[in-house]
Structure 1
Amino acid sequence: MINNNLLPKLSQNLLEILNDEEYYDIIIEVGNDPYVKVFRAHMVILNYRSPYLRRILSTNKKKNDGTLTYIKLPNILPEIFQIVLRYIYGGKISLEEYDILDIVKVMVAANELSLQELIPYLESFLIENKTNWVEQNFDLIYQISLENDSFSELQKYFWEYVIRWGLAKNPELPSDPTSFSKDDFNTLKKTLQQCIPFIRFRNLSSKEFLKGVKPYKKILPKELYNDLLEYFLDNDSKKSIPRIIKEDKAICSKNIDSKIITLQHAELISKWIDKLEITDKLITLYEFKLLYRDSHDGPSKLNFAKFQEICKNQYRTVIVIKVKDSNVVIGGYNPIEWKFDGSHGVTKDSFIFSFSNNSIEDYILSRVINEKRAIYNGNLHVVAFNSDLLLCIDNGVSVGSIKNSYEKKIRIDSSLTEEFEVFQIV
């Protein structure tokens, strides 16, 4: 017999452990100077509640000499971490107690700490209870969604909102798309043409696609709609439950247009994007859409102007590189747009990686630790994940790596390349 009436007492006891000043074994420094706060916690609870903290703690093994484990979380505000830490221990959160913007910050922190069960709960609360605020602050919420791949419920909601916004901009249009004329579709298409590339349609279920997208198919680029139609037809049984995909079947039904990486590499990179452990079930099998390829046996014909033309303003890109005369593949994921204006791109979700010996098991994953210098938008033949993965593009591609803004160094120092590919993650 399961008695849920006993759970509040368990939650209360676990929160008492959090407040205990005797048995803690971890010190967590949260925030950036001058606003930093220190929290005490317990390794066993953090290890089993947060995959992100488990990964950090695995590199800081507890010592038997009584020394406390010390970790830093500079990307989270102390007052937000206080809320999240109480959730980690007590398993509950009273959202009505908090400002809406703080709830959004909690959602971002939950994403960083890989608290995947909390994210859809917070998304649903915002969509169902704070709709007016979300729509009044659409630009903010949309940008946060672009930078955080796990916010699938908000990403679904955006399509509904974009349609409503487009209709509001054109009040002469009928509210029912079945009553649209050809000119009506063209009017709405023109209004929404800048929005559509940023909608993540593949986060929808087949039912949601059929009901919400298909009636507006004439405002979508024909190639995009055909790709989506094929995708949802091929994945109907799996997509009826959003974001739960059996890895073996999904891989068999997908292809990747790459001379460098395989489907198994793509699967692992997808897990890294979603901040999953390699043993976790794959949440989203992303499509790796090839934007650019440079293959050569002799001197490369790649030039920076061409690379700029294709990749400028593209979000959510993965660069993969085959290092010349070696069995090493290196690369990086950039969730924000490439600008090529000499600026630094700010994100906490980028990472760089390397594979060796043609094996997905022999890899190095290095996540960003200095988000303010995660990406360098070079304008003089250089693009970079700071100095940690530096690409010099000028009649060829050379790469280098000096540890700076990412957790660890990947395998190379300075090398030429054999193959160079850029994918957009959709």
Structure 2
Amino acid sequence: MRLNAKLWQSVAKNYAKLLEEEDSCDVSITVGSGDDIKTFNVHSLILRTQTPYFHTAFSAQWGKKKGDKIVLSKPNVTPAIFEDILKFIYSSELKLDNKDVQHLLGLLSASDELILPVLSDHVQKYLAINQASWIKEHPLETLNAAFQHESWKELQNCCVSTICKNPWMLFETPNFYHLDESILLYIIKKDELQMEESDIWYHILTWGIMQHADLPDDLNEYTNEDFNNLKKTLSKFLPVIRFFNMSLEDFDTKVSPYRKIFPDELYEDILWHFLKPDRPKKYISSILPKRHHPYANSKFIKTNYAKITAYKTSYSKYATKPDAFKRVMIGP
């Protein structure tokens, strides 16, 4: 017969009380660094049972003893976060209300390090449901945090889904060009990304240019080496930007000035697609489909150059590379 929820809560509370009984503790764990340090006295049996991390840490090969206690130090975990982890380990309960996002991200990181997948899933779901507005306000910080660990799929999916529906929250961020290549590539590959392909190209090109402080401001002054450097930076993006779904006018005015960064066969495939769509492709085995959103390749949303100009102006206030946007040819 299984315990009902009310009875289990009573049992869990009794386990939680053990944290207050230091006489029976056989482990001393010091966490934090600098002025934020605290020592917790805990029970090895309980911690070993809940996670393999402590099973290894308390083993004869790894554990260090001082007197009759095993001693352990975790300087990379704050006392506040470790206190929450102990509450979860001892009682299987943890209230996340009124915790700020930085604390939640720290808790998520610590739960991953301490091999507590149930806690990690719980925090990710809470962030996804309750902190959507914070994700919108801090897309770069949240994305970078979410992709720190491959196991944080729940948070990753939430961040990417939010950005695909509201792409300007990311692409208009002043420090957008600091985004890691792998994360940006993951987003660009999404069919659900609600941006026109010409806008995607503009921002990916801008991101690539911003990786090179020594590129001339005037495109006409680019050397072959400059084009080659930009080509290497954008090599992974070119096959997944859906140039085939652009208008011929957009391709001609916004893409063709950068012809030299394209592999010859890819550029030829795109040109032939406009002239003879059924012609077999040499570089692309299959053309990526149109993105799955109501405005893709329609006239409902067109690139707003006034908006982009305003974006360039606001961006320049924060950019560490002066006049970087002058290097991007926008077109008429």
Superposition TM-score, scaled by structure 2 size: 0.52
Aligned counterparts of 1:5 and 1:130: Cα–Cα separation in 2: 29
Instruction: Give 1:45-84 correspondences, 5 Å limit.
Output: 45-58=46-59, 59-60=61-62, 67-84=68-85
Instruction: Say if 2:242 is the partner of 1:218.
Output: yes
What amino acid maps onto 1:218 in structure 2?
Answer: R
Aligned counterparts of 2:63 and 2:17: Cα–Cα separation in 1: 25
Q: CA separation of 1:24/1:139 partners in 2, compared to 1, >3 Å: closer, same or farther?
A: same
Gaps of 5+ in 2: 173-190, 208-239, 245-261, 267-282, 290-332
Aligned counterparts of 1:18 and 1:12: Cα–Cα separation in 2: 11
For 1:120, what is the secondary structure of its paired residue?
Answer: helix
Shift of 1:193: 6.8
Shift of 1:88: 0.9
Task: Please give the per-residue CA displacement for 1:100-130, whole angstroms capped at 9, x wherever unaligned.
Answer: 3222221111111111111121111111111
Q: CA separation of 1:30/1:167 partners in 2, compared to 1, >3 Å: closer, same or farther?
A: closer
Q: CA separation of 1:25/1:219 partners in 2, compared to 1, >3 Å: closer, same or farther?
A: farther
What amino acid maps onto 2:141 in structure 1?
Answer: L
- The answer for the alignment partner of 1:140 in structure 2 is 141
4+ aligned runs moved over 6 Å, structure 1: 219-226
- The answer for the alignment partner of 1:39 in structure 2 is 40
Q: CA separation of 1:106/1:219 partners in 2, compared to 1, >3 Å: closer, same or farther?
A: farther
Q: CA separation of 1:161/1:219 partners in 2, compared to 1, >3 Å: closer, same or farther?
A: farther
The answer to whether the Cα contact below 8 Å between 2:30 and 2:40 also exists between their aligned partners in 1 is yes
For 1:22, what is the secondary structure of its paired residue?
Answer: helix
Q: CA separation of 1:193/1:149 partners in 2, compared to 1, >3 Å: closer, same or farther?
A: farther
Say which one has the larger Rg: 2
- The answer for the alignment partner of 2:196 in structure 1 is 184
For 1:36, what is the secondary structure of its paired residue?
Answer: strand
- The answer for the alignment partner of 2:120 in structure 1 is 119
Shift of 1:133: 1.2
Task: Please give the per-residue CA displacement for 1:125-169, whole angstroms capped at 9, x wherever unaligned.
Answer: 111111001221222222222323321111112322332343666
Aligned counterparts of 1:161 and 1:191: Cα–Cα separation in 2: 18
Aligned counterparts of 1:28 and 1:162: Cα–Cα separation in 2: 40
Aligned counterparts of 1:32 and 1:224: Cα–Cα separation in 2: 53
The answer to whether the Cα contact below 8 Å between 1:166 and 1:192 also exists between their aligned partners in 2 is no
For 1:188, what is the secondary structure of its paired residue?
Answer: helix
The answer to whether the Cα contact below 8 Å between 2:142 and 2:159 also exists between their aligned partners in 1 is no
Aligned counterparts of 2:127 and 2:63: Cα–Cα separation in 1: 38
- The answer for the alignment partner of 1:104 in structure 2 is 105
What amino acid maps onto 1:73 in structure 2?
Answer: K
Aligned counterparts of 1:135 and 1:45: Cα–Cα separation in 2: 39
Aligned counterparts of 1:225 and 1:26: Cα–Cα separation in 2: 60
Q: CA separation of 1:123/1:225 partners in 2, compared to 1, >3 Å: closer, same or farther?
A: farther
Instruction: Give 1:381-396 correspondences, 5 Å limit.
Output: none
What amino acid maps onto 1:109 in structure 2?
Answer: A
Aligned counterparts of 1:224 and 1:152: Cα–Cα separation in 2: 30
For 1:104, what is the secondary structure of its paired residue?
Answer: helix
Shift of 1:69: 0.3
The answer to whether the Cα contact below 8 Å between 2:46 and 2:90 also exists between their aligned partners in 1 is yes
Aligned counterparts of 2:51 and 2:125: Cα–Cα separation in 1: 21
Instruction: Give 1:223-242 correspondences, 5 Å limit.
Output: none
Aligned counterparts of 2:19 and 2:124: Cα–Cα separation in 1: 26
For 1:48, what is the secondary structure of its paired residue?
Answer: helix
Shift of 1:73: 0.5
Cα RMSD of the aligned pairs, angstroms, is 3.7
Q: Identity over the aligned pairs, expressed in percent? A: 22
The answer to whether the Cα contact below 8 Å between 1:185 and 1:218 also exists between their aligned partners in 2 is yes
For 1:29, what is the secondary structure of its paired residue?
Answer: strand
For 2:196, what is the secondary structure of its paired residue?
Answer: helix
Aligned counterparts of 1:73 and 1:8: Cα–Cα separation in 2: 30
Q: Which has the higher helix share?
A: 2
Q: CA separation of 1:28/1:217 partners in 2, compared to 1, >3 Å: closer, same or farther?
A: same
What amino acid maps onto 2:96 in structure 1?
Answer: L
Q: CA separation of 1:42/1:114 partners in 2, compared to 1, >3 Å: closer, same or farther?
A: same
Q: CA separation of 1:61/1:104 partners in 2, compared to 1, >3 Å: closer, same or farther?
A: closer
- The answer for the alignment partner of 1:162 in structure 2 is 163
Task: Give the count of matched residue pairs.
Answer: 199
- The answer for the alignment partner of 2:86 in structure 1 is 85
What amino acid maps onto 2:13 in structure 1?
Answer: Q
What amino acid maps onto 1:49 in structure 2?
Answer: Q
Instruction: Give 1:364-383 correspondences, 5 Å limit.
Output: none
Shift of 1:15: 0.5
More contact order relative to length (CA 8 Å, sep ≥ 6): 2
Aligned counterparts of 2:104 and 2:70: Cα–Cα separation in 1: 29
The answer to whether the Cα contact below 8 Å between 1:185 and 1:219 also exists between their aligned partners in 2 is yes
Gaps of 5+ in 1: 171-176, 196-215, 230-426
For 2:242, what is the secondary structure of its paired residue?
Answer: helix
Aligned counterparts of 1:140 and 1:43: Cα–Cα separation in 2: 36
